[in-house]
């Protein structure tokens, strides 16, 4: 379990240093959507180690981080 947590933290740290791919940006919420919450997620798979990882951000309508976390498994 400890190695899984360490690998998940390593994966999350690596995400901060990677350039973002050219993807269409998420539509901006309209004014009436001020109570809107946005969840963005990403996954990874390492075929050699047979380990998967998941990371996510939860943001408010004005793009403020509410929560971010990650998980990995084998």
For residue 23, is pLDDT > 80? no
Q: Tell whether the model's pLDDT for residue 14 goes beyond 80.
A: no
Which two structure tokens, joined as six digits, stand for 57? 């951000």
Beta strands 37-46; 65-73: pairing state: unpaired
Close Cβ partners of 67 (under 8 Å, ≥ 6 residues apart):
56, 57, 58
pLDDT at 15: 72
Would the pLDDT of 62 be above 70? yes
Is the distance from CB of 8 to CB of 72 less than 8 angstroms?
A: yes
Residue 40: is its pLDDT beyond 70?
yes
Cα–Cα distances (Å) from 31 to 8, 59, 61, 62, in that order, read 36, 16, 9, 10
Rounded to the nearest integer, the mean pLDDT of the chain is 78
């Amino acid at each position: 379990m400890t190695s899984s947590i360490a690998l998940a933290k390593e994966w999350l740290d690596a995400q901060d240093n990677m350039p973002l791919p050219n993807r269409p940006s998420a539509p901006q919420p309209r004014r009436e959507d001020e109570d809107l919450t946005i969840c963005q997620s990403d996954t990874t798979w390492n075929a050699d180690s047979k380990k998967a990882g998941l990371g996510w951000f939860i943001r408010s309508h004005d793009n403020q981080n509410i929560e971010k976390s990650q998980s990995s498994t084998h």
